[in-house]
Amino acid sequence: MTKDQIIEEVQNNFNGLVKNTNWGEVGLFYNPVNKLSKGIYLLTFKEKDGANDKSSNTDRNGVFRLNLGISKETFFELFGERPKRPKAGQIIDMPYDFAVLNEIMPHPIYGWMSWICVLNPTKETFKKLFPLIEEGYNLALKKYEKKVKVHNTV
């Protein structure tokens, strides 16, 4: 699947998502009626290596990495552990080749925060990822409500 196909599929299935660019990456944020300046991350796409994130080798022609936050519990169910936060410029300490295409795995930098990723998912892999996107969406809804509530009391 292409990045645009994924964005269209996700936006067609989940309300209140806004496509936005942050830190040079395209992402989908939950932000109905634009109450927050950016919204709450649902998923992002990395299409080029950065100074502190070269582990997925996204500089390869046509390669992108889809990134998604899920619950701590689901992360543990999928991978058996949550890694420690890596030092700046380093990656998490887990036995994954973060440059492999079409494999759902921990995010090389943000795995410690229960983020996952997949490089160039096929339609079949996207179907497996879809329930995780739904979980991420529900987490984004909760974070949004909490942030809006705090925002409105200030």
pLDDT of residue 17: 97
Q: In what order do the strands lie in the sheet with 65-69?
A: 17-22, 25-30, 40-46, 65-69, 115-119, 105-106
Does the pLDDT value for residue 119 go beyond 80? Answer: yes
Domain ranges of the chain: 3-153
Q: For residue 50, what pLDDT is reported?
A: 86
pLDDT at 146: 92
Nearest partner of 20 among 2, 38, 8, judged by Cα? 38
What pLDDT shows up at residue 18? 94
The residue among 22 and 3 whose pLDDT is bigger is 3
* Span 30-52, pLDDT tens digits: 999 888 888 999 999 999 998 88
CA–CA separation, 10 and 129 (whole Å): 11
CA distance 138 to 41: 11
Percent of the chain with pLDDT over 70: 97
User: What percentage of the chain exceeds 90 in pLDDT?
Assistant: 83
pLDDT at 149 (0 to 100): 82
Q: 57 or 153: which carries more pLDDT confidence?
A: 57
DSSP letters of 6-42?
Answer: HHHHHHHHSTTEEEEEETTEEEEEE-GGG-SSS-EEE
In this predicted structure, what is the pLDDT of residue 150? 73
Domain 3-153 indexed as CATH 3.40.50.920: no
> In whole angstroms, what is the distance from residue 105 CA to residue 27 CA?
19
* Model pLDDT, residue 71: 98
Which residues make Cβ contacts (< 8 Å) with residue 24, sequence separation at least 6? 48, 50
**Dihedral of CA 150/7/46/100: which sign?**
positive
Question: CA separation (Å) from 74 to 45, 79, 87, 132?
Answer: 21, 9, 24, 9
The pLDDT, as a whole number, for residue 21 is: 86
pLDDT, averaged across the chain? 94
3-state class (DSSP) for residue 70: coil
* Closest CA relative to residue 56, chosen from 47, 123, 83, 79: 47
pLDDT digits (tens, 9 = 90+) for 70-107: 999 999 999 999 999 999 889 999 999 999 999 999 99
